[in-house]
């Protein structure tokens, strides 16, 4: 990809994130009108997710018909390992969204040539826009982002992602080892947004036993372009898979890795 190819896709992703975010925000301000479906334990969805994803998919596949698309609600379309792929969570933080809590976002990643090239995360409630282009740094609302320079887990808060995909035993293991290190966890219900807080330096790191590609790929680029380290999620799980993730500043990354149980 050329820098111009990346720039064109960044500009499109930002425009689509704003358009889709406005649609999601309208639903957020009228939650009583939504039909909530229980997908599984602590896993909800409403027509807001699907409507928002449909707009994102239609816009991006129309602008870039040569690209594949992966969405949390509509699945994989055209993924063949060769074409560039958009990887999208229309509303990451579905539970906070449906509870009227502000910690949710639109997450749009573009993956090509075996790497995350563009990442965009937009929180329509706060109007915070987080963007990154491979090799060009990470930006929040026009200002550069840098990860926290903490050297110890006791020097700040660590984001902790957890869903029914994480066992109570493994959650306890992580919490116990973090507390023993003098750390403290922070969970907001959106892995993408919590990883963005790592890129801004507000949190010193993030761990989760199982996160999906659409939840994290955009945010992984934010953290890496903000000077952070991230486990090899794309290499291990691709654009449609899921698994463990560790992300943080270089001073605490190895300690964060030790928080997760081996198996």
Interface residue with ligand LIP among 53, 67, 73, 208 (CB under 6 A) is 208
Site stretch for ligand LIP (CB under 6 A), options 16-24, 77-85, 119-127, 207-215: 207-215
Q: How far is CA 135 from the centre of its chain?
A: 19
Total of residues contacting ligand LIP (CB under 6 A): 15
Interface residue with ligand LIP among 46, 52, 94, 103 (CB under 6 A) is 94
Residue nearest to ligand LIP (CB): 191
C-beta of 107 vs 117, nearer to ligand LIP = 107
C-beta of 52 vs 148, nearer to ligand LIP = 52
C-beta of 108 vs 192, nearer to ligand LIP = 192
**261, HSE (Cβ side, Cα atoms, 13 Å):** 14
For the record, the structure tokens of 138 come out as 């990470």
For the record, the structure tokens of 230 come out as 């991230």
Provide the minimum distance between the beta carbon of 169 and ligand LIP in the complex, in angstroms, as a whole number.
17
C-beta of 158 vs 163, nearer to ligand LIP = 163
- Closest by CA to 124, choosing from 162, 90, 87, is 90
> How far is it, in rounded angstroms, from Cα 234 to Cα 119?
13
Site stretch for ligand LIP (CB under 6 A), options 22-30, 73-81, 92-100, 168-176: 92-100
B/e letters for 79-95, b = 16+ CB within 10 Å, e = fewer, are: beeeebbbbbbbbbbbe
Is residue 39 classed exposed, middle or buried when 0-12, 13-18 and 19+ CB atoms within 10 A define those classes? exposed
218 touches ligand LIP by CB under 6 A: no
Identify any residues that bridge with 158 across adjacent strands, giving them in sequence order: 185, 205
89 touches ligand LIP by CB under 6 A: yes
Is residue 24 classed exposed, middle or buried when 0-12, 13-18 and 19+ CB atoms within 10 A define those classes? buried
Binding mask 156-195 for ligand LIP (x = CB under 6 A): -----xxx-------------------------xxxx---
Kindly give the pairing relationship between strand 143-144 and strand 115-123.
Answer: unpaired
Residues that bind ligand LIP (CB under 6 A): 72, 89, 92-94, 161-163, 189-192, 208, 211, 215
């Amino acid at each position: 990809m050329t820098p111009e190819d990346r720039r064109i896709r960044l500009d499109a992703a930002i425009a689509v994130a704003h358009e889709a975010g406005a649609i999601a925000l309208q639903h957020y301000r009228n939650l009583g009108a939504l039909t909530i479906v229980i997908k599984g334990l602590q896993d909800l969805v409403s027509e807001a997710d699907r409507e928002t994803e449909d707009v994102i998919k239609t816009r991006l596949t129309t602008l870039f018909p040569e690209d594949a698309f992966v969405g949390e609600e509509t699945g994989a379309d055209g993924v063949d390992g060769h074409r560039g792929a958009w990887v999208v969570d229309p509303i990451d933080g579905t539970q906070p969204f449906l509870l009227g809590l502000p910690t949710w976002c639109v997450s749009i990643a573009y993956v090509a040539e075996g790497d995350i090239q563009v990442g965009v995360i937009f929180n329509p409630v706060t109007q915070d826009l987080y963007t990154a282009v491979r090799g060009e740094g990470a930006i929040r609302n026009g200002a550069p982002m840098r990860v926290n320079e903490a050297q110890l887990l006791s020097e700040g808060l660590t984001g902790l992602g957890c869903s029914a995909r994480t066992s109570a035993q493994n959650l306890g293991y992580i919490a116990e080892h973090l507390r023993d290190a003098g750390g403290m966890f922070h969970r907001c219900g959106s892995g993408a947004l919590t990883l963005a807080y790592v890129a801004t330096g507000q949190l010193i790191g993030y761990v989760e036993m199982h996160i999906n590609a659409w939840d994290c790929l955009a945010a992984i680029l934010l953290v890496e372009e903000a000077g952070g380290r991230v486990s090899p999620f794309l290499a291990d799980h691709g654009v449609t898979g899921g698994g463990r993730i560790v992300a943080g500043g270089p001073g605490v990354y190895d300690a964060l890795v030790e928080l997760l149980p081996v198996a």
